[in-house]
Amino acid sequence: MFAADLFRKIDLNARITFVKLASYQGISSSGSIKELIGWNEDLVNKRILVVEDIVDTGATLERTLMRLVIKECSLTLR
């Protein structure tokens, strides 16, 4: 719901896609990050807005950003 509301408010010619990662088992972190729904878009030379729903240790967000670098996207952090 948040992503849909955000998308309505910002003026961008863009598409929305989702990646689902999990690092928790129950109420505690497992220490590993599982990719439940993976990357299905060509992200090379695209501008990317990452919206994270829960930031705890930052490990999932860090993995996401590193994955974007590995995919050779033109990554600009703002």
For residue 22, the surrounding DSSP H or E stretch is strand 20-25
Residues 6+ apart with CB under 8 A from 8: none
Residues 6+ apart with CB under 8 A from 18: 3, 37
Using one digit for the tens of pLDDT, what is the confidence trace for 24-40?
777 767 778 888 887 77
Catalytic residues: 56
pLDDT value, residue 75: 57
Using one digit for the tens of pLDDT, what is the confidence trace for 49-77?
888 777 777 788 888 887 777 665 655 55
